[in-house]
Every structure is written in structure tokens, then in C-alpha cells.
Amino acid sequence: MEPVLSARQVFKTYGRGRKRVEALKGVSFDVLPGTVTGLIGPNGAGKSTLIKSALGFFGVTSGELQLLGNEPGSPHSLKRLGYLPENPSFPQYLSGREFLTYAARLHGLPGRSASEKVDELLDEVGILHAADRRVRSYSKGMAQRLGLAQAMIASPDLLILDEPMSGLDPLGRAQVKAMLRRRQDDGTSIIFCSHILDDVERLCEDLIMLAGGEVRHQGNVNDVLLDRGQGWETLIRCASLADLLAPIDWTAAGD
């Protein structure tokens, strides 16, 4: 099976002299097709650098990256890819429907099937009610949902999602998880970047853990977490959210 993403001894250095930052230091791994893989690590670990290099936004200093069997940036790969950047931004003067239709046409979807797909996806991500409002008026969570719809518009073989749960409330997170499971069942490969272990644990089968520009652990999510499971889990049981929040001194929160 050909990996959907492979890295061999990838190094990436930004800047020179005193401003030099070694963002990736010899990263190697394979992501196999049909898997949901979590790319996790603390801020500054090198996750975005790795993904942006694989997409061809910039070159690496040395080593080899392949996305869907091609060099980074190859149009053959990009048309089979859906990508959600960490902080997606949209033309503010377009409505959600207009933006998504534009994305569909860029992917070459013909008019009629584009508009059907647009409505279907707006519904699936839960913003069909706001489809004709300008993106300018969307909340952070609504914009994130629109970004997800954009990533899925061309039914890609590979979805790369950088912090897809960012800005979503608990209901939104549950909806996105369900949506990703449906894509997984359809055979879509998913790479999910996050620093929130809980989301990754619930969704992913495989894990690549980056820290300081190096792969620290990789493999099946349960094996990796069991291997690293030297910690405490706190289980809080309470009758209601009010009970849980009652001990908090809210008057101090605004200080």
C-alpha cells in the first residue's frame, strides 16, 4: 500500500544566524491509506511546518516528502486533497454559500452538482440556516464549520485538518467527530493535527507525536498512549453543570 504521506529524514530550518530555528530535525514516518492519523505535539513542535511543507507551500532544507505518491505541491495530489488550515480566512464579502460554490468550481465541479453538494455540506456542518449571510457575520465556530465544508467539497481521498475542533462548542465538536467518522467509513484517509489529546484519542487509530521538531512516538494510538500512560486520570461526577461550577468564585474571574 502506497502511503498517503511519507517523510524521510526531513529537516527544515527557518532563518539564519541568531534567528535560525530548526523546526524539523530528521522526521521520518509513513501514513497509510484509509487510516485516521493524529499528528500531535505541543505548540512549536513542528506540526504546521510539516504539513505546509508536504502541501508544497515551501521547500524543506533536506530530506524527502511525498503526498499521495507525488512531490509536494503536485497538482495531481492537490486535486485529491482537502485541507483545513489552522486559522482559515475567507473573503468576508461573500456569503457561506457563495464561498463554498467558488471552492466547488475551483475543484472543477460542474454547476448543478456543485450547488447540490454545497447545500448538502452546509447542512452537514450545521450552517445551512446561515448560508446566505456574509461570512463577515459568522462566529468563529461557524467559520470553522465553513472551513471544514470547504475541505470536503471535492470528496477528497485525503483530508488534512489542522486543529479542526478549534472554536467549536461541545455540540460542534461532537458533530465534527461524527462527520469525520462518516468520511472514515467511506475510506477517506484523515490526518488530524491537534494538541488536544482527548480529540485525537477518540478519533484516531494511529498517532505521530512530534516534539522539538522530532518524532517522539508513533504507532497505534492505544499502544502509544499506554506506553506513555504514566499519569493521573481525574473522574468528576456531579449532578449538573451548576454543581460543578458552583465552587468557582466568578467575581474573581474578571480581575
Binding region for ligand ADP (CB under 6 A): 14-15, 21, 23, 41, 43-49
Question: Which CB sits closer to ligand ADP, 45 or 81?
Answer: 45
Q: What is the nearest approach in angstroms of ligand ADP to the Cβ of residue 183?
A: 23
Q: What is the nearest approach in angstroms of ligand ADP to the Cβ of residue 26?
A: 14
Rounded distance, CA 135 to CA 148, Å? 14
Q: Is 22 helix (H, G, I), strand (E, B) or coil?
A: strand
H-run or E-run covering 142: helix 140-152
Question: Which CB sits closer to ligand ADP, 82 or 85?
Answer: 85
C-alpha distance from residue 46 to each of 20, 97, 132, 188, 202 (Å): 14, 34, 37, 24, 23
Handedness of CA 71, 76, 82, 86 (dihedral sign): positive
Q: Give the torsion through C-alpha atoms of 221, 235, 171, 247, to 10 deg.
A: -150
Question: Which CB sits closer to ligand ADP, 4 or 39?
Answer: 39
Q: What is the nearest approach in angstroms of ligand ADP to the Cβ of residue 178?
A: 26
Q: What is the nearest approach in angstroms of ligand ADP to the Cβ of residue 44?
A: 4
Question: Which CB sits closer to ligand ADP, 45 or 191?
Answer: 45
Question: Which CB sits closer to ligand ADP, 184 or 194?
Answer: 194
Q: What count of Cα atoms within 13 Å lies in the side-chain half-sphere of residue 18?
A: 0
The DSSP 8-state label assigned to residue 240 in this structure reads -
Q: What is the nearest approach in angstroms of ligand ADP to the Cβ of residue 92?
A: 25
140-152 vs 96-106: helix crossing angle, rounded to 10: 20
